[in-house]
């Protein structure tokens, strides 16, 4: 049994705390140390995984590495003390947890995604959000579209564990496109109820995202680029 817990950090980021059945854990994208320490407390942390080099995903890594003696895994350009450099294609077992590493460029150079097949779960950083996708900060629409397509082989039951709580805004954007499917209305109502209680909208299944997320539904990189431009200028 693998337990997955989102820890809110900074303004709207999530650090993910993953524990195996024997209590050993890993952290993914610690953008801040103090809130993570308050939740993790004295639980053993064997590793910290970074999806990409942006500060809001790595700023707490060095302090947490020092406190817990955890090895840090990530792309070579991550501005943190790395014990293991990853580039995609690796399969690891850490803290008793199997992890597949995917190269996921488009949002950031060197961006990685982590798949836990036993759950199954996908830690996608800033590539995929619930109802949205990452911005094209350091790459092209073709790159990010291909990164999303790399998730096509994952099952509908896969839990999407993204790096930000952007879901309510993404629901508003989808509505602005005139999309009013039953699946979308159900997800929007669920998101509204969760946020009203101050609860995370993540994780969400990849199956739900496939039914409601227009970025995942884009037929090609041109359609994806058009959606991304619309979202970049959306003020809802």
Residue 209 has what pLDDT? 98
> Quick one: what percent of the chain has pLDDT higher than 90?
98
Is the per-residue pLDDT at 201 higher than 90?
yes
Hey, which CATH number is domain 3-232, 2.40.110.10, 3.60.15.10, 3.40.50.10490, 3.20.20.70? 3.60.15.10
Is the per-residue pLDDT at 221 higher than 80?
yes
Sheet of 45-49: strands edge to edge? 3-9, 13-19, 25-28, 45-49, 71-74, 84-85
Torsion of CA 154, 155, 157, 158, to 10 degrees: -10
> Quick one: what percent of the chain has pLDDT higher than 70?
100
* Mean pLDDT score, 118-146: 98
Domain ranges of the chain: 3-232
* Mean pLDDT score, 52-74: 98
pLDDT tens for each residue of 77-100: 999 999 999 999 999 999 999 999
Is the per-residue pLDDT at 236 higher than 80?
no
The closest of 158, 176, 91 to 120, measured between CA atoms, is 158
Residue 235 has what pLDDT? 87
Q: Please answer whether residues 88 and 102 qualify as being in contact, where contact means their C-beta atoms are separated by less than 8 angstroms.
A: yes
pLDDT tens for each residue of 147-175: 999 999 999 999 999 999 999 999 999 99
Residue 100 has what pLDDT? 98
Judge if pTM exceeds 0.85. yes
């Amino acid at each position: 049994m693998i337990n997955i817990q989102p820890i809110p950090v900074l303004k709207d980021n999530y650090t993910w705390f993953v524990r195996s059945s024997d209590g050993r854990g890993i952290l993914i994208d610690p953008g801040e140390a103090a809130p993570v320490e308050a939740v993790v407390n004295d639980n053993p942390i064997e590793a910290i995984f970074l999806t990409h080099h942006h500060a809001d995903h790595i700023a707490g890594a060095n302090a947490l590495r020092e406190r817990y003696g955890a090895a840090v895994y990530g792309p070579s350009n991550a501005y943190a003390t790395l014990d293991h450099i990853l580039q995609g294609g690796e399969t690891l077992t850490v803290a008793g947890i199997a992890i597949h590493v995917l190269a996921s460029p488009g949002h950031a150079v060197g961006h990685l995604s982590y798949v836990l097949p036993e759950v199954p779960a996908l830690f996608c950083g800033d590539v995929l959000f619930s109802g949205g996708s990452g911005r094209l900060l350091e790459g092209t629409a073709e790159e990010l579209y291909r990164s999303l397509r790399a998730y096509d082989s994952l099952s509908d039951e896969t839990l999407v564990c993204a790096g930000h709580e952007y879901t309510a805004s993404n629901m508003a954007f989808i509505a602005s496109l005139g999309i009013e499917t039953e699946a979308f209305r159900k997800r929007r109502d669920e998101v509204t109820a969760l946020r009203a209680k101050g609860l995370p909208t993540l994780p969400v299944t990849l199956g739900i995202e496939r039914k409601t997320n227009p970025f995942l539904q884009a037929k090609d990189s041109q359609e994806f680029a058009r959606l991304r431009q619309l979202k970049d200028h959306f003020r809802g």
